[in-house]
Copies of this chain bind each other. A is one copy, B any other.
Amino acid sequence: MRGVGAPASRSFAKPVRQQARQVPAGPAGQQTIRRQNLGLVMQAVMEDGPSSRASIASTVGLTRSTVSSLVEELLSRGLLSDRGQQASGSVGRPGRLVGLSDRTVGLGLEINVDYLAASVLDLSGGVRFEQFVRHENRGMPIEVVLDKLGDLARTALTAVEQHGLMSVGTAIAVPGLVDAETGTLLTAPNLGWSDTQIGREMARRLGRPNQYLSVQNEANLAAQGELWEGNGRRWGDFVLVSGEIGVGGAVVVEGELLMSGAGMSGELGHLSVDPEGPACPCGSRGCLERIVGQEALLAAAHLDAEVGTSIGLPDGGVQALVERAEAGDPMTVAALERAARVLGQACASVANLVAPNTIVLGGIYAPLFPWLADPFRAEFECRSFVARYSGVAVVQSELGPAAAVRGAASLTLRAVCADPQLVDAVAGSG
């Protein structure tokens, strides 16, 4: 599957360990091979935990002296750190261990329709900072939104740097079609944005011109967040249905995100479930997200006026829906049941087409799962004969609305671990 814009992530999605290369080459080739080998050493330590140089050498198939030189570079770039003497009892003379640095972190940012978010993860998957900020981005000048996101990014970086952590780059999740190579948001129907140079604009605001920076579709990043930081590895082939104002989707086959159409695939929210239904800003009618997106849910539960614009966050409109449903409010329960049936219908079509093992309800559907699950399953199973034969589990995302921004932070770390020379050498690290 094509992986434009996400080569770094793909090398980690593969289960097979690459073979190290010792082939002689010209200076340019040697430099390329060294970059690859740096990535292989990182991968070995990520998979095997703290290791001696000798054991890394044996794992990746390079000489001890080459590995020592690679490890020194990774220490100087702050990606590995010294972990002290190997325990006695191992074969041979005990060496010093190196492990993943606990000071290195990646920044994930998210622009959604009605909120902004930042998350900082370390190399062990630990969340070192996370903040969601309500921000109605529709009708707002793009500059204002990006300024606000820049503020949030600085808040995140300042917070983690105060604890001695070092951020190595940023990935930004956006709710629309992306040209990942240029960091351009091509179109975001719910925001009304098109052809916006998010990458260039945010690079300027972040003020770290040499650092890794990537812009990706939010549902794609959410699926990668589920794979890397959630339960995605257990689900087999899965379809993620991520509810927000819009409804994002992503298809994962054999542990890899389906990236056909240069990553433009997975726009589940624009399945037309009612061809003559309400107009959608995408140009079509009756799109799934017009019927079961967050605002439609709030309107159906007659909560829209009450919640006003404070929607889109765990403590926003979804929380209002959860509270009403928990209290047994008939209008809310009925609205959720109707939405679940439509979602079940749409996902049945998707399952007939893609035949996944698992359908994952994420985003706002995660906290609403207790009310959605039964009617969803009932409709889904009677509508999808493929699901009846192949067996499809319907599960809840544990990451919920945080999947995309964590996927973004994780992508950043995976990109620099695959190509450590994306990180400048720092003084005093290791």
A295, chain B: closest CB distance, angstroms: 19
Q: Please give, as numbers and ranges, the residues of chain B lying within 8 Å of A237 by CB-CB distance.
A: 2, 260-261
Q: How many identical subunits does the complex contain?
A: 2
A272 near B383 with CB under 8 A, answer: yes
Mark each residue of chain A from 241 to 279: 1 if its CB lies under 8 Å from any CB of chain B, else 0.
000000001010110001011111111101111110000
Q: Which of A23-31, A349-357, A399-407 contacts B (4 or more CB under 8 A)?
A: A349-357
Q: Which residues from 273 to 331 on chain A have a C-beta closer than 8 Å to any C-beta of chain B?
A: 273-275, 282-285
Q: Please give, as numbers and ranges, the residues of chain B lying within 8 Å of A44 by CB-CB distance.
A: none
Rounded to whole angstroms, the CA-CA distance of A345 and B383 in the bound complex is 19
The answer to whether A348 has its CB under 8 Å from any CB of chain B is yes
B272 near A275 with CB under 8 A, answer: no
Q: Please give, as numbers and ranges, the residues of chain B lying within 8 Å of A348 by CB-CB distance.
A: 272, 284
B349 near A386 with CB under 8 A, answer: no
Looking at chain A's contact residues, is the secondary structure mostly helix, strand, loop, or mixed?
mixed
The answer to whether A421 has its CB under 8 Å from any CB of chain B is no
A275 near B275 with CB under 8 A, answer: no
A269, chain B: closest CB distance, angstroms: 8
A254 near B2 with CB under 8 A, answer: yes
Q: Please give, as numbers and ranges, the residues of chain B lying within 8 Å of A249 by CB-CB distance.
A: 353
Q: Which residues from 348 to 374 on chain A have a C-beta closer than 8 Å to any C-beta of chain B?
A: 348-350, 352-357
Known contacts A272-B383, A284-B382, A349-B271; is-contact A355 B389 (Cβ 8 Å) = no
B385 near A177 with CB under 8 A, answer: yes
Query: What are some 13 contacts across the A-B interface (CB < 8 A)?
Result: A1-B254, A189-B385, A261-B357, A261-B386, A265-B386, A267-B386, A268-B353, A270-B384, A272-B345, A273-B275, A275-B342, A284-B385, A353-B354
Interface residues of A (CB under 8 A from B): 1-2, 177, 186-187, 189, 237, 249, 251, 253-254, 258, 260-268, 270-275, 282-285, 342, 345, 348-350, 352-357, 382-386, 388-390
